[in-house]
């Protein structure tokens, strides 16, 4: 337990009569790249929402580096080192790329670092700018820093969203379907960036199609109907008959 960066114990989330997450116990080791897969509606995004604190669980607990964070607000979780992206790209279209990067830092980090009103002028503020510059560089978007986000392609917006999360310097990054809606070229770009992050932080990646991430992840967790049916190394998951039965109805869906 102590070695896990994040873990969930017996998590349940119900919406009215629907149980979206149904008794999930889940954990990821620090430094791992881990995949979370499963059919649409199987509870993957809801599990992310519970880990990142978007809403409270109906029952169960969430731990981060051994600490019970079940009752902690999302921004406190960010301050502890957990960041996420959303299934639908979530950026401010009217702002420039650079402004999109700086905003979350001001929102999430300002209070704790005592930056005060003139946070941009002091030393800590400059450090935060460097974090933004580095994040932009990581996703290869430095040349577009001052472009209005509304003028970017969907793929570039996705990269900006990843950069916004990276600028927060997370220990754990949750990426909800980062490849969804992208062209093949954009997919290989995002994959390359995720690969470059390997070893620097812990990553959990939701993806619908296992074939896209099988070569990238070190562990895979499969959800179906709110439950985890298998969590193991990718080759073991592929060989598991329960996974084949529920997830790979046809070759096409892989
Ligand atoms: P996945 O990400 O695996 O596609 P979700 O976690 O988004 O699945 O959804 C799991 C189930 O929970 C679905 O039936 C979905 O309609 C339901 N659900 C998710 N979020 C909400 C919500 N905020 N309110 C009501 N139902 C929800
Ligand atoms: Mg989802």
Note the ligand closest to the C-alpha atom of 176.
Answer: 2
Measured from the CA of 176, which atom of ligand 1 is nearest? Answer: 2
Mean of the per-residue pLDDT values of the chain? 88
Flag whether pLDDT at 51 surpasses 60. yes
Mean pLDDT of 60-74: 97
Q: Is the CB of 46 under 6 A from ligand 1?
A: yes
Ion ligand 2: residues, CB < 5 A: 45, 87
Measured from the CA of 177, which atom of ligand 1 is nearest? Answer: 2
13, 43, 49: residue to mutate for ligand 1 pocket, most atoms within 8 A of CB: 43
Reported as a single tens digit per residue, the pLDDT across 202-249 is 999 999 888 889 889 999 999 999 999 999 999 999 888 888 877 666
Residue 125: pLDDT band by 50, 70, 90 thresholds? low
Note the ligand closest to the C-alpha atom of 177.
Answer: 2
Question: Are the beta carbons of 159 and 136 closer than 8 angstroms?
Answer: no
| Tokens encoding 127 | 């450090």
Residue 124: pLDDT band by 50, 70, 90 thresholds? low
Note the ligand closest to the C-alpha atom of 41.
Answer: 1
Can you give the pLDDT at residue 230?
Answer: 92
Can you give the pLDDT at residue 126?
Answer: 65
Can you give the pLDDT at residue 156?
Answer: 94
- The whole-model pTM stands at 0.91
Mean pLDDT of 19-43: 95
**Helix 123-138, helix 154-166: angle, nearest 10:** 140
Measured from the CA of 49, which atom of ligand 1 is nearest? Answer: 6
Q: Is the CB of 15 under 6 A from ligand 1?
A: yes
| Comparison of pLDDT for 38 and 114, the residue scoring more | 38
Q: Is the CB of 13 under 6 A from ligand 1?
A: no
- pLDDT > 90 in the chain, percent: 72
Can you give the pLDDT at residue 249?
Answer: 61
| Comparison of pLDDT for 210 and 111, the residue scoring more | 210
């Amino acid at each position: 337990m102590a070695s896990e960066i994040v873990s969930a114990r017996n998590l349940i989330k119900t919406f009215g009569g629907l149980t979206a997450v149904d008794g999930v116990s889940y954990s990821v080791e620090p430094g791992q790249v881990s995949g979370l897969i499963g059919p649409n509606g199987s509870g993957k995004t809801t599990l992310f929402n519970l880990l990142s604190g978007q809403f409270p669980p109906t029952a169960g607990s969430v731990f981060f580096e051994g600490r019970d964070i079940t009752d902690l607000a999302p921004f406190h979780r960010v301050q502890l080192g957990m960041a996420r992206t959303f299934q639908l790209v979530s950026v401010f279209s009217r702002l420039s790329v650079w402004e999109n990067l700086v905003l979350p830092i001001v929102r999430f980090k300002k209070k704790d670092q005592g930056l005060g009103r003139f946070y941009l002028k002091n030393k800590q503020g400059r450090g935060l700018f460097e974090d933004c510059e580095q994040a932009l560089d990581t996703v290869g978007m430095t040349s577009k820093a001052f472009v209005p986000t509304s003028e970017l392609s969907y793929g570039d917006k996705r990269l900006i969203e990843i950069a916004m999360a990276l600028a927060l310097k997370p220990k754990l990054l949750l990426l909800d379907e980062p490849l969804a809606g992208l062209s093949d070229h954009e997919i290989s770009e995002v994959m390359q960036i995720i690969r470059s992050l390997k070893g620097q932080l812990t990553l959990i990646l939701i993806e619908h199609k296992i074939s896209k991430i099988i070569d990238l992840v070190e562990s895979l967790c499969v959800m179906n109907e709110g439950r985890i049916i298998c969590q193991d190394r990718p080759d073991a998951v592929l060989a598991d008959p329960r996974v084949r039965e529920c997830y790979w109805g046809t070759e096409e869906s892989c």
